[in-house]
Copies of this chain bind each other. A is one copy, B any other.
Amino acid sequence: MTRIDDVARLAGVSTATVSRALRGLPTVSAATRRRVLAAAEQLQYAVSPSASRLAGGRTGTVAVVVPRITRWFFGTVVEAVEEFLHDSGYDLLLYNLGGREQVRQRVLRTANLHKRVDAIVLVATPLRPADLTALAELDLPGITISSGSTVPGWPCVRIDDVAAARTATRHLLDLGHRRIAHISGDPTDELAFTTHTDRRRGYREALRRAGLRPDPSLDMESQFTIDGGNQATVELLARGEPPTAIFAACDEIAMGAMTALRDAGLRVPQDVSVIGVDDHDLSGVLGLSTIAQPAAEQGRLAARLLLDPLGTGTVEPYAGRVPAPRGAGGDGTTPMPPVILPTRLVVRESTAPPRAH
């Protein structure tokens, strides 16, 4: 393959000038830049990322860590992040934790990410204290999406999970429900993953504000999956008198719940109302009422906030655009308030008033 020397020779300049011209640095005359670009194009030159990274210290790559890419929220977030990163000239290294504890440790704790990426996007990734220490030692910029795991110095984009849960529960209360079950994550989870605890809190707050006392026998632990929702509902129904409504902490749980209810001969919403959180692609198909959250927008916004202080990614030889100045980012220690994006109640067919006794 052609190297930078070849381009320099053809253009009649030094390799330093080729390097500058190709990256659009302002310290190159227009005429020189034109000659360099022409030479590069003629030779089909592409920089060697390894050499560029070793010499320049920047990788033009961002690590994106998600629990499970196959879950609606994470897939949607990754898609939006991917688009923004690539449009900005960055590559995306994907890490799908898949619930495997040792994978999480390999990714987060070893110096694996060191010198491999310029920044990290952590999507709803539970962090233990040792993870935080490791991330701090990595000393990379990053951002978290959706999780309550606050990494010092990193911004966070999310929704207000407590408020979303309150709204969902209140919708059921407004319809007249009093026996409202909840299916969410494991409440005793020691990980700093606050999504499910926040949603459980919103559920309880809404009940209390309505003068009701949360009933522990209606409060189920589960995974954030269809199967999890299914199993939790089976167990819930086995406990005795079914609730008249279920608030599921996410749409996938709600879908599993709908299946279990159907299998048990209960109709939605005639016998049991169901509401979730997300507005999953398929919630419309299923007629599932939900609290819609802007997943793609959270991803896009996070990518933008992350990249703003980093400037353009890899070299774009033929684009000729000038990178934005590396504006001062945060100082890495100031605590930043999370960026909260709005949610919205979407009423479909899965919620209705309870039948009269």
User: For residue A238, which residues in chain B have a CB less than 8 angstroms away from its CB?
Assistant: none
Residue-by-residue, is A67-93 near B (CB-CB < 8 Å gives 1, otherwise 0)? 011101001101100110010000111
Instruction: Name the distance in Å between A121's Cβ and chain B's nearest Cβ.
Output: 12
Q: Which of A223-257 contact B (CB under 8 A)?
A: 226, 255-256
Contact residues on A (Cβ < 8 Å of other chain), bracket = 35 or more
User: For residue A218, which residues in chain B have a CB less than 8 angstroms away from its CB?
Assistant: none
Would B54 and A78 count as touching, CB distance under 8 A?
A: no
Would A92 and B91 count as touching, CB distance under 8 A?
A: no
Instruction: Name the distance in Å between A346's Cβ and chain B's nearest Cβ.
Output: 15
User: For residue A68, which residues in chain B have a CB less than 8 angstroms away from its CB?
Assistant: 79
Q: Contacts A70-B72, A79-B98 given; 16 further ones with Cβ under 8 A?
A: A1-B114, A44-B111, A46-B110, A46-B111, A46-B112, A50-B59, A51-B54, A54-B54, A69-B78, A86-B95, A86-B106, A92-B93, A226-B281, A255-B285, A256-B285, A259-B285
Interface residues of chain A, those whose CB is within 8 Å of chain B, are: 1, 44, 46, 48-51, 53-54, 59, 61, 64, 68-70, 72, 75-76, 78-79, 82-83, 86, 91-96, 98, 103, 106, 110-112, 114-116, 226, 255-256, 258-259, 281-282, 284-286
Instruction: Name the distance in Å between A340's Cβ and chain B's nearest Cβ.
Output: 24
User: For residue A112, which residues in chain B have a CB less than 8 angstroms away from its CB?
Assistant: 46
User: For residue A256, which residues in chain B have a CB less than 8 angstroms away from its CB?
Assistant: 285
Question: Cα distance A96–B46 when bound, in Å?
Answer: 22
